[in-house]
Chain A
Amino acid sequence: MTTATIDRQSRGTAPRAGLMTSFKRSWDKHWYAWAMVAPVVIVIGVLVLYPLGYGAYLSFTNANEMTVAKNIGPVHIPASYDIVGFDNYWKIISGQDGDFYPRLIWTVTWTVTCVAFTYAIGMGMALLLNRPVRFRLFYRLSLILPWAIPAFVSVFAWRLMLNSQYGVFNSMITQVGLPAQDWLGTPFAQKVAVIMVNVWAGVPFMMVALLGGMQSVPQELYEAAEMDGASPWQRFLNITLPGLRPVSNTVILLGVIWTFNMFPIIFLLLGQNNSGDTDILVTYAYRKAFTGVSDYSGAASYGMVILAILLVFSTFYRRYQAKTEQA
């Protein structure tokens, strides 16, 4: 106690060290730590911060493939694009480009629907598998399978199964006398199909995470509740759900971010001959950047807008979460 007081006094009375001096002192003391984190800082800088910064810069220009600088062999052409300020963002936010709001509405619908379904189904399956059943390990492993298959493989398998003329679904339902469906035909059917495939692919993760959460809920609580005569539904509502809250909050946050940016399912399931109604923001931005003459600035501003939306969502979600956890 005494030493602490003396320390505080001596620090208080000492002349204030300059920024350089304090940096130097900290360097002398902690140089080892700096050296240890240096590789990580460099890798993150090269792989994340630099592209992010460059993307942000491009979003304030009108750069496209024709106007960027080129140094190819004997050809040296300086960049001919200009800084246009917030012009790209204005075009997006004001709805001038005509695509942003339809794409945003569908992206949000898609995200909410997919996360709600994957969470609900994942929860149901986790509940089933959390009880002593025979062949439990087998069920658990086989239900993880959709997660283990690379997305593009499963998406192509679904595309074959949903084929309106030669697919297995139509041959099954025509067998029982129902009319064949055009599963990937109209925009509405396409939307249902992509949600279905994404739910199928997303359930295992939810299931595994929630199952892990359930197993960490203390068994004594259930026993005590049973003693008090709580019904299974009451036990689920008042023990399982609150016990799962930390896990749920995390998986829902992850689910939202992943689904919002779920590229392969939408891009690969529908092929190129579609009306564009099923494009979410990321696939739309991809088309801007990678079809024909690349529109770098347009795609970059979409990227920044997507990032902003997700940042805002995550911040508010964390805040809401902190509030509910305190309560």
Chain B
Amino acid sequence: MRRGISAVAMAAAIVLGATACGGSSDNKSTGDAAKDPAGVSGDITYWDTSDATNEAPVYQSLIKDFMAKYPKIKVKYVNVPFSDVENKFKTAAQSGKGAPDVVRADVGLIPEYASNHYIAPLDGTAALKDTGDFTQGPLNTTKYEGKTYGVPSVTDTLGLLYNKELFAKAGITKPPTTWDEFISVSKTIKDKTGVTGTYVNPDTYFLMPLLFGEGTDLADAAAKKITINSPEAVKAVTKAKEIYDTSSAKVDFASAYDNMQTSFKNGKVAMLIQGPWSVSDDISGSAFKGKESNLGYAPVPAGSTGKPQAPTGGHDLAVYQGSKNLDASYLFTEFMTSSASQVTIATKTGTLPTRTSAYTPAVTADPKIAGFKSIMDTARPRVALAQVGSLFTPLQQQYVKILQGQVSVQAGLDAAASEFATLLPGFTK
């Protein structure tokens, strides 16, 4: 019998040994960060989603500066690919294991993270400082149900990028301001130079300027109404289909983004609806290399409302609600979004700052930042719904079918709307 007992003990030891691994934690929060920032100590992890080769070194050097300023705080930098971060963060945040303390979140993800309580409200913490200095568009993206859940770090929007040389060759003096003009300009360019007008990106994010141009969106959060199959949306998508049919190069749906970029930067298409993130790639191509002034910037064309509008993009920094070192996380967030840090980020990476004071002459000397700064006035936030990420999948599938001509615009959008209805309980069609 004694041998039996020892076997039980052995099995118990294995079980306990396996479970004990997950238990350790160092829970030390030293006072209020706002009152005594220098006294805050601890280890925090930061998940960055910036471009790993071009942008990450700038963020890493800023982290070194932060640790020099707060020697008691140690920051672990982790670069997570932008396409993976949503699922990785949500999984980690839910289980509490391996979650970062501070995460860089696309502005569109804030409502989803906030509604699930993954990220902490920041009002009244050390993370938010000089909020009056932030430009309104980016600041609006951090709000969810009246609270602030993020601090704007960088911003962007979609604009119309065009090849000035091709425009001059075709005798066009100014970029198109409406979608109808966009189509006629494409035709002129095709006739006079043989170059195709544009390359339609079949990703639904690039459909937003058309929807906004008709004054509509995926849904109306205030009225609890799905608007994706409204007459305005049908009009917008019909226009998108017309552009695809008349003005676009042949779209390779599996590699649309890469082919679009390659075509534009090598002068095979004349115009693109694109964001500032693409410019450094554009100027590496034969059409713009060594002649960066050939790249023109304009607001997206307007729809029948007459007002050009594009979605506010960019990234906010958010703090994980379950962080063991909230104070250190707040200080880190504040540091990384301060005016000085934003100037460094902007001058070294060419992304647009979110603070008015960060648009120093040195920053606006960058033609890309200068080009998009004026376009930023056309940016408007997307509908702030927790489910907005889920909505893109059915819309994407229908949009592809519409562009390929498998379904009519109305039928496709109706199908998307019924899928929306199952994802948005309480919303009317």
A residues apposed to B, CB below 8 Å: 27-28, 31-32, 34-35, 38-39, 42, 46, 65-66, 68, 70-75, 77, 159-160, 162-166, 182, 184-187, 190, 269-276, 287, 290-294
The verdict on B203 contacting chain A, using a C-beta distance below 8 Å, is yes
Known: A273-B256, A273-B400, A291-B393. A164 touches B90 (CB 8 A): no
Query: Which residues of B lie under 8 Å from residue A290 when comparing CB positions?
Result: 87
Q: Of all chain B residues, which has the CB nearest A68?
A: B94
Give CA–CA (A274, B400) in the complex, Å. 6
Which residues of B in the span 249-305 have a Cβ within 8 Å of any Cβ on A?
250, 252-256, 258-259, 262-263
Query: Which residues of A lie under 8 Å from residue B79 when comparing CB positions?
Result: none
The verdict on B15 contacting chain A, using a C-beta distance below 8 Å, is yes
Q: How far is the CB of A30 from chain B (nearest CB, A)?
A: 10
Give CA–CA (A194, B118) in the complex, Å. 37
The verdict on B423 contacting chain A, using a C-beta distance below 8 Å, is yes
Give CA–CA (A39, B7) in the complex, Å. 12
Q: Of all chain A residues, which has the CB nearest B256?
A: A273
Q: Of all chain B residues, which has the CB nearest A190?
A: B254
* B202 engages A34 (CB within 8 Å): no
Query: Which residues of B lie under 8 Å from residue A294 when comparing CB positions?
Result: 90
Shortest Cβ-Cβ A-B pairs, 6 listed = A292-B390, A292-B389, A184-B254, A73-B322, A276-B397, A72-B322
Give CA–CA (A291, B202) in the complex, Å. 18
Give CA–CA (A32, B398) in the complex, Å. 61
* A38 engages B250 (CB within 8 Å): no
Give CA–CA (A291, B263) in the complex, Å. 30
* B202 engages A70 (CB within 8 Å): no
Give the contact stretch, choosing among B47-55, B109-117, B129-137, B342-350. Answer: B109-117
Give CA–CA (A72, B324) in the complex, Å. 11
Instruction: Indicate which residue in B10, B11, B14, B254 contacts A269 across the interface (CB closer than 8 Å).
Output: B254
Select the residue from A42, A77, A273, A274 with max chain B CB neighbours within 10 A.
A273
* A72 engages B203 (CB within 8 Å): no
Give CA–CA (A162, B209) in the complex, Å. 31
Q: Of all chain A residues, which has the CB nearest B390?
A: A292
The verdict on B391 contacting chain A, using a C-beta distance below 8 Å, is yes
Query: Which residues of B lie under 8 Å from residue A160 when comparing CB positions?
Result: 255
Known: A28-B4, A31-B3. A273 touches B253 (CB 8 A): yes
The verdict on B363 contacting chain A, using a C-beta distance below 8 Å, is no
Contact with A along B370-407 (1 / 0, CB 8 A): 00000000000000001111111100111011001010
* B321 engages A42 (CB within 8 Å): no
Which residues of B in the span 199-255 have a Cβ within 8 Å of any Cβ on A?
202-203, 250, 252-255
* B252 engages A73 (CB within 8 Å): no
Give CA–CA (A292, B423) in the complex, Å. 10
What would 20 more interface pairs be, CB under 8 Å, given A164-B250, A292-B389, A292-B423? Answer: A38-B14, A66-B116, A66-B386, A70-B117, A73-B320, A73-B321, A73-B322, A75-B117, A75-B321, A165-B250, A165-B252, A165-B259, A165-B263, A271-B254, A271-B256, A275-B397, A275-B401, A293-B112, A293-B423, A294-B90
Select the residue from B18, B254, B256, B396 with max chain A CB neighbours within 10 A.
B254
Query: Which residues of B lie under 8 Å from residue A190 when comparing CB positions?
Result: 254
